[in-house]
Amino acid sequence: MRRVLAQGKGDESDLYWPANFLAKECDAEGLAWLSSRVGRPQNCLRFQETVPLFGKCNYRQAVPYLIKNSIHDACLNIDDAAVRDLQHFFPHSPRGFDTMEEMQSYFCTRAKRENIKVDCTAE
């Protein structure tokens, strides 16, 4: 699957499958590919199973992706999974926020405090 992903043949929807297969095994290449997408490379039902892999695999490199792309996702299951991952990476985080912007700001601040490069500008 690494070779299939490295060859990059097909669109993001096609490459999602080998990346996700690898990610399920906590493979860094699969996790890196999945967390480097600008958006979500698969539909809600599929990707809601992928986002929790970042936390399960303790893949902290996904923090910028989770903050910028996932906590504002139109699919609430993806939002929830992203927040659980971020709470895993940042223990003792608040469990509730008044707004999504407040949540994003909080996790941006925590990430920057730990020298994680994340784009915290609003879209």
Q: What is the pLDDT along the chain (123 residues), one digit of tens a residue?
A: 888 788 878 777 889 999 999 999 999 999 999 999 877 777 888 889 999 999 999 999 999 999 988 888 888 898 999 999 999 999 999 988 898 889 999 999 999 999 999 988 765
Q: How many residues make up the chain in this entry?
A: 123
Structural contact between residues 30 and 22, judged by C-beta atoms closer than 8 angstroms: yes
Domain ranges of the chain: 2-113
DSSP states along 69-121: IITT-SSHHHHHHHHHHHHHHSTT--S--SSHHHHHHHHHHHHHHTT------
Structural contact between residues 69 and 39, judged by C-beta atoms closer than 8 angstroms: yes
How many CB atoms are closer than 10 A to CB 58? 12
How many CB atoms are closer than 10 A to CB 77? 15
- Whether this model's pTM surpasses 0.75: yes
